[in-house]
Amino acid sequence: MVQVVKGRTDRVVVVGAGLSGLSAALHLRGAGHEVTVLERHPHPGGLAGRLEVDGHRIDTGPTVLTMPELLDDAFAAVGQKREDHLELLPLHPAYRATFADGSALDVHTDAGRMEQAVRDFAGDREAQGYRELREWLTKLYEVEKDRFIGASFDSPLDLVGRDLVELTRLGGFGSLDKAVGRFLKDERLRRVFTFQALYAGVAPKDALAAYAVIAYMDTIAGVWFPRGGMRAMPQALADAAALAGVTFHYGVEVEQLERSGSRVTAVRTAESRIPCDAVVLATGPAQSTRLLRGEPRRVLPLRWSPSAVVVHLSARRVVDDLAHHTISFGDKWNSTFDEIVRQGKLMSDPSLLLTTPSLTDPALAPEGRHLQYLLAPCPNLDAAPLRWDAMAQRYAEQIMEELAARKLLVDAEPLAVVTPDDWARDGQAAGTPFSAAHTFAQTGPFRPTNLPFRRGNVVLAGSGTTPGVGIPPVLISGRLAAERLRRPGK
């Protein structure tokens, strides 16, 4: 049984109206708590923000949505349906992958279509390998979803049990790259099923095979897009929470947590004091550390994930057969990860993500235009304190030129450029939106716990705590935070 906060938890203040905070608020309200949400921005969303430029409705945060049933769970916590607040559009294909040799592969979530696509791309042997890989990924997800992804940890001993034995048998603690390589020999295909490790902040050759579940989410469970853009998702969650009786205050900065002994008794902003029985900090590691007046001790300091440069673009036209998400792999692979993770250098032969949401929802761009996001992984500010103020525009031009040379970008002009400096100004530690890397020492029970002080009444939610980075883990983190505040007898 997971440890819960002792004492009264009737009145809960949630600091941060990002996806984790909204998930926590809905699950708390559904359990009968009185919930107040404080958000420093004038709208919900957190990192899933919105920027309006010349009629373009730009999503400034995550662009890939998987596992929408987690959204359904959050709405259901207060007796509501996601369909009444938010329309989700399935993406077919989930991705298009393009390679330096000129080849391309559409990644389908349907098993039959994907098997045939792999056969046409790389032959019968690889198609058989894909079938076996898909079966392995599915087993891996079934083993991990409840214990390793969907639960809080109070001790490494919480891992011990039948699921740990099965995960070990499946090779979950081995190398991700080698695990996928057991099924697929074509290097291009191996990239399609391992690049997701970058979401977890590590190179595929260094990542645990357990993180292949991200590939399961992308390539088997499916990828979706909210009508109205990604920012429609937190707005829908906030609307449902308000309808259920959650109180929201926007445009307020939390300055201090007022304490009595080990417990927080009130949350202070510049304008008000809000009494409470418990607090959920859904603010990200940097702000949480500030409000907690120092983070709990760790044997090893946290290692942060790589960051990213994002160029938001307006295009007069797009190339033929472009997918909503297009991954352009450079010729280099392992050395690319070494550059941004270990050497603190920009990619010499970049792999890039081009997202064109206006292909799915034309209303996101003015008539006659397309909205595009170009994402390039880069070192975080701890690994390389580069002078982004001086180099951002030129680097944006370089990666645009690179993508144009690969014949994936035409007639596009930048609307805005986001760099690690911008993430840092928004309160993200080391200037990365991907938080703490999922190394072995920062995974599962070794990741910063969502109950930082055993005798306290503060709980954490978000990508910096259990279970980790990405929309599905962040939504789960909100539910786990709410469960820590479960009232006796509930």
Contact 282, 15 (CB under 8 A): yes
Burial 345-379 (b: 16+ CB within 10 A, else e): bbbeebbbbbbbbbbbbeebbeeebbbbbbbbbbb
Q: Name the residue with tokens 């897009």.
A: 225
Looking at residue 1, its pLDDT comes to 67
Rounded to whole angstroms, how far apart are CA atoms 445 and 447?
Answer: 6
Burial 51-67 (b: 16+ CB within 10 A, else e): eeeeebbbbbbbbbbbb
Residue 415: name the closest of 447, 358, 474, 373 by CA.
Answer: 373
Q: How many CB atoms lie within 10 A of CB 434?
A: 25
Looking at residue 488, its pLDDT comes to 58
Which amino acid makes up residue 404?
A: A
Structure tokens at 115: 């098997």
> What does pLDDT average to in each consecutive run of 10 residues of the chain (490 residues)?
89 98 98 97 93 95 95 98 98 96 96 98 98 97 89 76 87 94 97 89 89 93 97 98 98 95 94 97 89 73 92 96 96 88 92 97 97 96 94 97 97 96 91 90 87 92 93 97 80
Rounded to whole angstroms, how far apart are CA atoms 88 and 100?
Answer: 33
Strand order in the sheet with 88-90: 65-66, 223-226, 88-90
Residue 46: name the closest of 61, 67, 26 by CA.
Answer: 61
Rounded to whole angstroms, how far apart are CA atoms 104 and 120?
Answer: 11
Phi and psi, residue 151, nearest 5°: -140, 155
Looking at residue 445, its pLDDT comes to 83
Rounded to whole angstroms, how far apart are CA atoms 435 and 353?
Answer: 19
Q: Angle at Cα 411 formed by Cα 407 and Cα 412, nearest 5°?
A: 95
- In the chain, list all ranges with CATH 3.30.9: 304-435
What's the CATH class of domain 304-435?
A: alpha beta
Rounded to whole angstroms, how far apart are CA atoms 363 and 356?
Answer: 12
Fold designation for 11-48+64-87+228-302+436-484: FAD/NAD(P)-binding domain (3.50.50)
Phi and psi, residue 188, nearest 5°: -65, -45
Rounded to whole angstroms, how far apart are CA atoms 279 and 416?
Answer: 35
- In the chain, list all ranges with CATH 3.50.50.60: 11-48+64-87+228-302+436-484
Strand order in the sheet with 325-328: 104-107, 95-98, 325-328, 352-355, 370-378, 307-315, 412-418
Residues 6+ positions from 345 with CB-CB distance below 8 Å = 339, 379, 384
